[in-house]
């Protein structure tokens, strides 16, 4: 059984995140405050603009988009760059490299447990809340299935980007700066802070050629679209899958090349 060893890591991850119940609670409270701010900010923005729909998005659309983007962020974010960076600095990475499992899979699967926990503690409650608050402006139909499908490549793309950036840390031995740059770029260009629909044309065109929109914008646009055209959905999912494969290859090749470079302090 090949998958068995991975699921063992998932189980450990679940137990580990459940151990830190206080931080789950604080994260929940933090989300609540954030969502309040987002709600009032956009409400007054739409109130001042005088129209119901800006760039094809109504107030409810924007709210659902941003709220679920945050929920997705909490659910997908693994802080893998931090982990890799810390492992490099402390030298623990040597022990992980010696394990009879690929480092990349090891890291991914040891985080998978927190995926499961975060899904039930943050994403699902937020989703239900947002459905109630916006009086079911979220279309509940076949789009939910497509949404679930598009989350899978989104998670992998997000992780691959993290892993590539983490590999850069092997060379620089600097974590904070690299990580903050990655986070800023991903958050802005993926549409997690402002929906892509609000971007100016040129910027929108540029962003469409980058992998970041596949992380947040694609799943969320799919979710918000009540009557999906099959061709449309297929292109979106197709782009996601292509990015997913491309980034998987890049991250694994880059890691292999970089491993020859590695210098570990003690350990």
Partner 1 sequence: MKKKGINFYLHIYFKILAQDIKSKMSYRADFIISTIGMIFTNIAGFVSFWILFRNFPSINGWSYYEMMFLYGFSLISITPVQCLFDNNWNLRMYVYSGDFIKYCFRPINLFFYYQSEIFDIKGLGQLAFGLATMVYAWTKIGLACTPLIILKTIIFLITASLIMIAVMNAAAATCFWITNSFFVMDLALKFRDYAKYPITIFSPVFRFIFTFIIPVAFIAYYPSLVILRPDNIPVLSWISPAFGCLFFWLSYKLWMHGATKYSGTGS
Residues at the site binding partner 1, with contacts judged by CB under 8 A: 20, 22-23, 26-27, 29-30, 33-34, 36-37, 40-41, 43-45, 47-49, 54-55, 172-174, 176-181, 184-185, 187-188, 193-194, 198-200, 203
Which residue lies nearer to partner 1 by CB, 41 or 249? 41
Which residue lies nearer to partner 1 by CB, 55 or 235? 55
Which residue lies nearer to partner 1 by CB, 165 or 244? 165
Three state DSSP letters for 30-60: HHHHHHHHHHHHHHHHHHHHCCCEECCEEHH
Which residue lies nearer to partner 1 by CB, 26 or 142? 26
Residues 62, 195 contacting (CB under 8 angstroms): yes
Min dist. Cβ of residue 65 to partner 1 (A): 14
Min dist. Cβ of residue 152 to partner 1 (A): 27
Which residue lies nearer to partner 1 by CB, 120 or 171? 171
Min dist. Cβ of residue 129 to partner 1 (A): 17
Which residue lies nearer to partner 1 by CB, 146 or 216? 216
What CA–CA distances, in Å, run from 11 to 16, 60, 193? 9, 37, 32
Min dist. Cβ of residue 204 to partner 1 (A): 10
Task: Give the side-chain half-sphere CA count within 13 A for 85.
Answer: 19
Residues 226, 197 contacting (CB under 8 angstroms): no
Min dist. Cβ of residue 78 to partner 1 (A): 15
Min dist. Cβ of residue 225 to partner 1 (A): 21
From CA 218, how far away is CA 196, in angstroms rounded? 10
From CA 124, how far away is CA 265, in angstroms rounded? 42
Helix, strand or coil, per DSSP, at residue 173: coil
Nearest to 220, CA basis, from 135, 123, 86:
123
Can you spell out the DSSP letters for 138-166?
Answer: S--SHHHHHHHHHHHHHHHHHHHHHHHHH
| DSSP-assigned beta bridge partners for residue 53 | 58
Which residue lies nearer to partner 1 by CB, 31 or 240? 31
Min dist. Cβ of residue 260 to partner 1 (A): 20
């Amino acid at each position: 059984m090949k998958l068995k060893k991975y699921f063992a890591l998932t189980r450990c991850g679940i137990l580990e995140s459940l151990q830190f119940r206080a931080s789950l609670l604080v994260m929940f409270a933090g989300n609540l405050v954030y969502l309040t701010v987002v709600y009032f900010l956009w409400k007054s923005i739409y109130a001042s603009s005088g129209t119901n729909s800006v760039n094809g998005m109504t107030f409810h659309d924007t709210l659902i988009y941003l709220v679920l983007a945050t929920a997705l962020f909490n659910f997908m974010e693994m802080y893998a760059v931090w982990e890799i960076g810390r492992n490099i600095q402390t030298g623990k990475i040597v022990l992980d490299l010696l394990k009879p499992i690929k480092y990349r899979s090891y890291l991914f699967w040891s985080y998978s447990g927190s995926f499961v926990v975060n899904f039930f503690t943050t994403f699902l409650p937020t989703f239900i809340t947002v459905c109630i608050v916006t009086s079911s402006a979220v279309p509940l139909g076949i789009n939910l299935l497509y949404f679930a499908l598009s989350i899978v490549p989104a998670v992998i793309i997000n992780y691959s980007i993290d892993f590539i950036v983490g590999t850069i840390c092997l060379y620089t031995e600097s974590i904070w700066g690299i990580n903050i740059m990655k986070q800023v770029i991903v958050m802005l260009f993926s549409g997690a802070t402002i929906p892509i629909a609000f971007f100016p044309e040129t910027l929108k065109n540029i962003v469409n050629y980058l992998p970041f929109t596949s992380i947040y914008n694609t799943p969320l646009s799919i979710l918000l679209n009540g009557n999906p055209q099959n061709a449309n959905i297929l292109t979106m999912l197709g782009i996601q899958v292509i990015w997913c494969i491309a980034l998987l290859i890049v991250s694994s090749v880059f890691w292999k090349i970089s491993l020859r470079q590695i210098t570990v302090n003690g350990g």
